[in-house]
Structure 1
Amino acid sequence: MCGAVIFTARNVPSTAGICHCPMCRRWTGSALIGVTVPADKVVWQGEHNIARLQSSRWAERAWCKQCGSNLYFRVTMESEWSGNYELPMGLFDDPNGFEITNEIYFDHKPDSYSFAGTDRTQLTRADCVAKFPVLDEDGPLKAG
């Protein structure tokens, strides 16, 4: 928002996902609509302005120290999911053209909103824990 942190991403996929988990809803004020980009495809400028929080034993969230804009979610635990940034779609200069392919924690979505279209995978919290058991072992490191 303020320009203190800028990223350039190469080979950005055309797909995005939506997360309705309680932490993402608190972090974004709604749902996180994110685009997964491999870390080696993202170059950051103004890194000294990036604040990070290890929000669970397995992941961190980052934001701009100057204006507070959310910058990314990233798995820090060594796993098949590490090495990627989940970049909020609104950070892209042109957020058009992304196809929403999945919604996770769908059973945690508030009834006050929904996203158009139904041609995507919708996973409940139980579905997510079955795929990624670490989700059941860990809550936020800080109450919030």
Structure 2
Amino acid sequence: MTAVAVAVPLVWLAWLVLIDWVPMFPLNDLSGANVKGRALAAVINYPFPLLIAAGVALHRTWSLAAATVLCLLVMTGHVRSWWLPYFGTATDEQRELYRREYSRTWKVLPTAGRAVVIDVQHMVMGVLSLLMLATTIVVTLTA
């Protein structure tokens, strides 16, 4: 299970790099995103899965606890950025970002009456985030 818990954050990172930098419309829409903004987001987001994978691989009590906390932060960020706005708590900034960068991407959830709708690329991120959290918890509890 440790190998899976190390691999999942790396898959999460690979998916994020793919959707951040490789144009695959309508899965992603990079036309409205500026390179500087994507680079800043990369600097902020990319270390998380690397630290999580390293913490699990190190397999010490403190590193597993740190990896679990980082997974919780990732999951919290995902819920705050996508699911809460979908259910009606979107800020003006989130609405503008959604309109500019995600309004034309592929969605499977109902869009009517929603200011922000989670798209498929971010649904995959959510599933991977949940899987990352679950595998890290399992390894932590069985250590």
**TM-score, normalised to structure 2's length?**
0.28
Higher relative contact order (CA 8 A, sep 6+): 2
Greater strand proportion = 1
Over alpha carbons, which structure has the higher Rg? Answer: 2
More helix by share: 2
